[in-house]
Structure 1
Amino acid sequence: MTEEGEIPFAMSGRKPVQKRAQATWNRLLDAAGSLLEEVGVERISTNLVAARAGVSPPTLYHYFPDKYALLAALGERLMVAQNALVVLDPEQDEAAIAAVLEAHVTLTRATPGGAWIMRMLRAVPQLAPIRIASHRAVAHALAERVLALDPRQDPQSTEARARLCVDLGYAAIELIFDEPDLPEAPALADAARAIRAVIAP
């Protein structure tokens, strides 16, 4: 939830409207997330996902034309859920920023294959634009809030600082999953301190 409503980053493709179809769509994505963690992005296939979700391949193709459309929707779903946790308040303190980062970690852990989805969005060239578009949307919304509070700031440099803040936070979340033995709270507190320093005018 943000102060200005949802961040304007929407999922592409055809997301079903009816509840039953939504349940199937989410079941397919959950199955894809679990398989992504188990077999990796190279070996995952639409047939594997359909079997894991308990549907026929034609049912899967009703929602996703191919493997990469399925993986794109998987990545977009996580980005939308993560963006919903962002608080567009340039004046929030380090503790509040750290709490938002912790909420992202919790959400990602609760998402089937969550950490692997994040890795996929950085490693697979066809899917990287999803992550970049999401980060740009968050950064733009944050920059608008900064400029609303202080119109004297330069829009271009404000946008650049906001973009850096977004990637600092994302990198911190990735680090928690890449280095599971790293003390989580201190790492997120350090990341929050860096974000606070960058966004401060």
Structure 2
Amino acid sequence: MPFKKSHVPPDLLEKNKPQQQRAVQTYEGILNAASELLVELGVERISTNLIAERAGITVPALYRYFKNKYAVLYALGARLMDRQNQILVGWHETYFDPSEPEKLFVEVEGLVRETYDVTREQPASLAVLSAMRAIPILQEVRLQSHKRMTQWLLSQWEAFYEIDDEERIGVQSRMSMEVAMTAVEMSIEDSETSADIAIEEAAKIIVLYWRDMISRMSYKGG
């Protein structure tokens, strides 16, 4: 589920979407270079000049795709958020049974684990996530992505249930996503933390939220 571009400040949007193979290679080279530099130098010290140098292109060539370094960081963050969001969408579509929503409970750990796997697989994922939290203009992008996924999840439930307390269920849905992401980020950031245990514990918390959510719904199917 790609991030909705209408929520993204214009300065963060790509100037040109690459179509030809050579342009795609240049674009990917920019993102790879930015990932490496983000890990090596941190978000404050990287620049478009350094990114272009590492990618082996000129600065004007980089500017054909991105307006500034924050646009490059946004592209990295959006790619990661899209992949994480797609995990939730695919998982829900696979396991959700509106007549027996409790079946989801046994699959929650798998959801958190898949999110962990896809996050860990992306180069510099932790540095990208840290940048999305640290930079004000990117904080809003991250916030809107989480809100959008919360709204999407609620829309799936509202199609089948009468909801007594939508505001509370919205908060519970959002908090369950934050719990999952906390476990994922903690497992990647801290090598002394067992990913298995963090994932298992996050799943327990999420199930508690979702069990309460279900108690506040009435199935429309009778």
TM-score (norm 2): 0.80
**In 2, Cα distance between equivalents of 1:150 and 1:103:** 27
Q: Would you say 1:9 and 2:3 are equivalent positions?
A: yes
- In structure 1, the gaps of 5 or more residues are 1-5
TM-fit CA distance, 1:126: 2.1
The alpha-carbon distance between structure 1 residues 9 and 110, as it changes in their structure 2 partners (threshold 3 A), is same
What amino acid does structure 2 have at the position aligned with 1:16?
K
Aligned residue number for residue 68 of structure 2: 66
Match of 2:42 in 1: 40
On the 8 A contact 1:74/1:117 being kept in 2, the answer is yes
Kept in 2: contact 1:36–1:116 (CA 8 A):
yes
Cα distance in 2, alignment partners of residues 63 and 34 from structure 1: 19
The answer to whether the aligner puts 1:103 opposite 2:97 as a matched pair is: no
Within 2, Cα distance between the matches of 1:53 and 1:82? 26
- 1:88-167 equivalence runs, <5 A: 88=92, 89=96, 91-167=102-178
Alpha carbons of structure 1 residues 189 and 47: separation in structure 2 relative to 1, 3 Å: same
Deviation at 1:37, TM superposition (A): 0.7
Q: Which letter maps to 1:9?
A: F
Q: Which residue of 1 aligns with 2:218?
A: none
Q: Percent identity?
A: 32
User: Quick one: which of 144, 169, 172 aligns to 2:183?
Assistant: 172
Distance verdict in 2 for CA 1:83–1:152, change over 3 Å: closer
Q: Whole-Å Cα distance in 1 between the matches of residues 103 and 134 of structure 2?
A: 32
* TM-score of the aligned structures, taking structure 1 as reference length: 0.88
Assess if the C-alpha contact under 8 Å between 1:147 and 1:153 holds in 2.
Answer: no
User: What SS does structure 2 have at the residue aligned with 1:140?
Assistant: helix
- Give the CA RMSD over aligned residues: 1.9
What do residues 115-134 of structure 1 show as CA deviations (whole Å, max 9, x unaligned)? 11111111222211111111
More helix by share: 2
17-26 vs 110-119, which deviates more? 17-26
| Contact 2:18-2:27 at 8 Å conserved across structures | no
Answer yes or no: is 1:29 the counterpart of 2:31: yes
Q: CA contact under 8 A between 1:64 and 1:70: conserved in structure 2? A: yes
Cα gap change, 1:17 to 1:91, in 2 (>3 Å) = farther
Aligned to 1:49: 51
Maintained 8 Å contact 1:95/1:189: no
Indicate yes or no: 2:195 matched with 1:184.
yes
Give a deviation string over 1:93-130, Cα, whole Å, max 9, x none: 44422222222222222212111111111122221111
Structure 1 segments of 4+ aligned residues over 6 angstroms from their partners: none
